[in-house]
Every structure is written in C-alpha cells, then in structure tokens.
C-alpha cells in the first residue's frame, strides 16, 4: 500500500483532519501564482496545530530559501521543476529529503504528475521512490494505489474551488483506501 500525500494545504482545520485520518505527508505550496499558495505565516499557523504524525512537504517551483524552509518545519522539499544535481545536493546537504519532478535530477523520490503537462512521465529504474500525482480522486484511488508507486499525491480532486479543500471529499478519500 503506498503512502498518502495530501497537497495544497491552505487551511488548519483541513490539515488537522487529514493528519488525524492518517495522511503520511501534508504538502504546502509556496509558489507565486498558485491558487493553493500559502505564505510562511500561514504555514507556521497551520503547522503549529498539527500533532506531528504527518511529514510536512514544502512544494516549490523555484529553488527555495532553505533556511526559511527549516524555520517552517518542513521534512521534505519538493522541487516542482526539473532540478539540477547541484540543486538536489544542496537540499540534501541542508538536511531535507528531496523530491524532484520527473525529468530532473535523481532525488530521494521522483514525482510523475499527469497534470504538469511537460510530457516527462517515463518511469525510470533508479533507486528512489516514485510519486504519482495528477487527477487522483476518491473515485480512482484504488487504481492509483495498485499502480506500484510508493506515494500517491492527492490535491485538486479534494477541492470545491481552487485552493479550497472539502472535508467531505477528504473523508471520501480515506474511506476509498483499499484494504
């Protein structure tokens, strides 16, 4: 059974419930222009409410300020761009696990995101975990889990509008988990 990442966290109540239900990872998008973007102040407020069961992922579309990422309590840095080996190395040297978009440098995990649209979704046989993202919902979660990936990343299917998550959809997702 793959681990479950809930991404695009913008609300403390939603994050607390996702962690309570058993999310393995909570993703916070710190990318300008995203409807799911959160500020450092928002991340700190949300993270302060968590019990510490879920690992926290900072999602960046440009190379992050790693000192700020540490201050936000992130465990994982997701480089949602095709990072270079040097960038991945800097993230790891700073003490973070590093996830990279497929097609970038080999990291601790590679993200295969059908919604990214760059056509780079070939599975590589490198020694890393594989993350499946893009259009995963309660309705197709069982198929995603059966794909053989290590982490399933769910985001927009849990929203009532971009950036606004639904607790009802979150609960549907967890009730759709196989097994």
* Predicted structure pTM score: 0.94
| CATH (domain of 153) | 3.20.20.70
Domain containing 18 equals: 3-175
Percent of the chain with pLDDT over 90: 83
- How confident is the model over 35-64, as a mean pLDDT? 97
**Dist CA 75 CA 36 (whole Å):** 19
Write out the H or E segment, with its range, that includes residue 110: strand 109-113
- Position 18 pLDDT exceeds 90: yes
Burial class (CB in 10 A: 0-12, 13-18, 19+), 58: buried
- Return the minimum-mean-pLDDT range out of 39-48, 65-74, 86-95, 125-134: 125-134
Task: Output the CA–CA distances (angstroms, integers) from residue 2 to 23, 112, 114, 143, 150, in the order listed.
Answer: 11, 14, 18, 11, 5
Q: Which two tokens stand for residue 83?
A: 């990072």
- How confident is the model over 112-120, as a mean pLDDT? 60
pLDDT band at 116 (very low <50, low <70, confident <90, very high): low
Helices (H) and strands (E) in the chain, counts: 6, 10
Mean pLDDT of the chain: 92
- Return the minimum-mean-pLDDT range out of 1-10, 65-74, 98-107: 98-107
- How confident is the model over 29-51, as a mean pLDDT? 97
pLDDT band at 89 (very low <50, low <70, confident <90, very high): very high
pLDDT band at 112 (very low <50, low <70, confident <90, very high): confident
Write out the H or E segment, with its range, that includes residue 154: strand 151-154
pLDDT tens digit sequence for 166-178: 999 999 999 999 9
As for how many domains the chain has, the answer is 1
Beta strand 55-60 with 25-29: parallel, antiparallel or unpaired? parallel
Phi, psi of 154 (to 5 degrees): -115, 135
């Amino acid at each position: 059974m793959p681990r479950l990442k809930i991404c695009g966290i913008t609300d403390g109540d939603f994050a607390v419930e996702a962690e309570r239900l058993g999310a393995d990872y909570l993703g916070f998008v710190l990318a300008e222009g995203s409807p799911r973007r959160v500020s450092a102040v928002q991340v700190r407020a949300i993270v302060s409410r968590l019990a510490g069961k879920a690992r926290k992922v900072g999602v960046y579309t440009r190379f992050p300020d790693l000192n700020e990422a540490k201050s936000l309590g992130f465990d994982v840095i997701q480089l949602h761009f095709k990072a270079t080996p040097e960038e991945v190395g800097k993230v790891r040297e700073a003490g973070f696990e590093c996830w990279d978009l497929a097609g970038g440098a080999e990291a601790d995990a590679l993200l295969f995101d059908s919604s990214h649209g760059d056509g780079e979704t070939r599975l590589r046989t490198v020694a890393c975990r594989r993350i499946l993202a893009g259009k995963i919902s309660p309705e197709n979660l069982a198929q995603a889990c059966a794909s053989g990936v290590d982490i399933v990343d769910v985001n927009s299917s849990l929203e009532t509008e971009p950036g606004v998550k639904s607790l009802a959809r979150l609960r549907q997702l967890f009730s759709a988990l196989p097994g």
